[in-house]
Chains A and B, each alone.
Chain A
Amino acid sequence: MSATSLLAVFVENKPGQTARITKILADANVDLRWVTIANSGSFGVMKFLVDKLEAGLQALRDKGLMVSLLEVLVVETPNRPGALQSVADLLGRNEVNLANCSGFVANNRAILILEVQELALARSVLEKAGLRPMTQEEMLRL
């Protein structure tokens, strides 16, 4: 499967929560490759791409945290103006709604992380356009 799994952690929106959770992961020797925090008023969800998924999941659950695995699609796009626009346009034209999207450029490679409801549809749309979603391993080798 060419989907990538993120750790999604439920957090209350109050001071010290990010430090508390990242400390648990650090203590478990889990390396963070990417992180984002989504807030909704009194609570939020922290999402991590990590090198050791199982170990991270277990460490957080052992501390009583609510953790879920979230499947996302990761694609590499050309590193030039208009690249994100073309992906967004492609998905929009095929009725795929982007729930969340983030991106970064590393070693001159442009990476997009896409959260969508219609995972299978989005994957086939991307593949037809020559954008093959990366596997977890490929993602971690970046």
Chain B
Amino acid sequence: MFWDQESETLSRPALEALQLQRLQQTVSRLAARVPFYQQKFAELGVGPDDIRRLEDVRRLPFTTAADLRAIYPSGLLAVEADEPVRLHTSSGTTGKPKAIFFSRNDVNTAADMIARSLVAAGITRADVFQNMMSYGLFTGGLVMHYGAERVGCLVIPAGPGTSERQLMLMQDFGTTAVHILPSYALYFANYLEQKGIDPRKDLKLRKAFVGAEPHTEQTRKRIEEAFGVDVYNSYGLTEMNGPGVAFECEQKAGMHLWEDCFLLEIIDPATGEPLPDGQRGELVLTTLKREAMPILRYRTRDITSVIAEPCPCGRTHRRIHRITGRSDDMLIIRGVNIFPQQIEQVLMSMPQVGRNYLIIVEGLDDLTVKVELSDRGFDGQVEHLAALQNQLVEKLKAEIWVRPKVDLVPPGSLPVAEGKAKRVLDKRSL
């Protein structure tokens, strides 16, 4: 099933020709209208005429999160000030947020990308779509909402309300698909279990879209097993419209990145040099269709790699692998680089481990991992718990090269944050 079969299955040469044309238009508009880029182009001695082939994108300047914070709140508008119709911002947990402006066409394009993505995962107008992401400045609410509405689903703008209310909506309106944070999905599974509700029998759920948080393949499988649904991974970021940058199709084997809207590069984060397909590096994105606020070569800080092989689904837009790390999340403990996902991967491979965990770093680089037990994790014998604890310490040590302290805690005892889950607590005073 396709939303826009022609665009989604363009031949590679046709797609690349379209990308080049749109890149040239974008650079011309920035050179004519946006002082921030005018200055950068002047520093690098580059201009619209230098973009003759797609590879020439490498001559253009990078844009960083720090750049976007520095120009807050005015944005990098390439349109008249009265043109934008929508504002979103990133969460701004590390200081000023990043403000992103949308024109009416930008809102439409973003909705189209979501519509393509949902249909690629088998969503139809018959679906009842419960959007459990936060509405407001966060793009996961409104942008997804517009896309699902465009497909023709009945969209329930549930937002991140209480589990009790989410369940009531699911039961009363026969929800078939949800958009949900992976950490909340695991928590909600616990909640249903406690309520004695079997989602397979008692609910009509068939598909779940998870995003906005990095998670592992094991977490996907756990959510699928807990609810009896197909779970599709997605990738997006506020700076690039929010959700709908890349989505999995029904193959569930990597996320198609909509290349007619975004030009993708994978670079070595240390040198900025391009890396070949298949090699892991930082994802860099350039908007190709955005009117209000085009962005060149945005450093996403997300680590992934490109799957160049054609997908059996027929879409020609290349796929990216699950995000395996984020340079921002990286912890440096006793000189070792550690990604929280490495720890999650170890934990989720153990059936005795439950659905929530917390990584705490304190003192002189002391790493503690608090781990909730699953119902299967306790048989009444303290010796078995001690053995599990040792096993976790050893497995984690093998994965991250640092010996952590492991605390076993009862299910439901760790805090679950509304919005993005708090998985790492760094109490070191830097």
Contact = CB atoms under 8 A, between A and B. Distances in A.
Interface in A26-65: 38-45, 47, 64-65
B385 A45 contact: yes
Contact of B381 (A42, A43, A45, A65): A45
B380 A68 contact: yes
A66 B409 CA distance: 10
A38 B410 contact: no
Contact of A10 (B194, B378, B386, B389): B378
B383 interface: yes
Contacts of B381: 8, 45, 70, 99, 115
B148 to A, nearest CB: 35
A12 interface: yes
Contact of A66 (B383, B389, B407, B410): B410
B311 interface: no
A118 B246 CA distance: 55
B404 interface: no
Dominant SS at the B interface?
mixed
Interface in B126-149: none
B411 interface: yes
B374 to A, nearest CB: 9
B55 interface: no
Contacts of A39: 382
B187 to A, nearest CB: 13
Contact of A38 (B377, B382, B389): B382
B338 interface: no
B380 A12 contact: no
Contacts of B309: none
A115 B411 CA distance: 26
A40 B385 CA distance: 8
B154 interface: no
Interface string A54-90: 0000000000111011100000000000000000000
Contact of A68 (B378, B409, B412): B378
Interface of B: 194, 373, 375, 377-383, 385-386, 389, 407-413
17 contacts: A8-B378, A10-B378, A12-B410, A42-B407, A42-B408, A43-B385, A43-B409, A45-B380, A47-B380, A64-B410, A66-B373, A66-B411, A68-B378, A69-B380, A70-B380, A70-B381, A115-B381
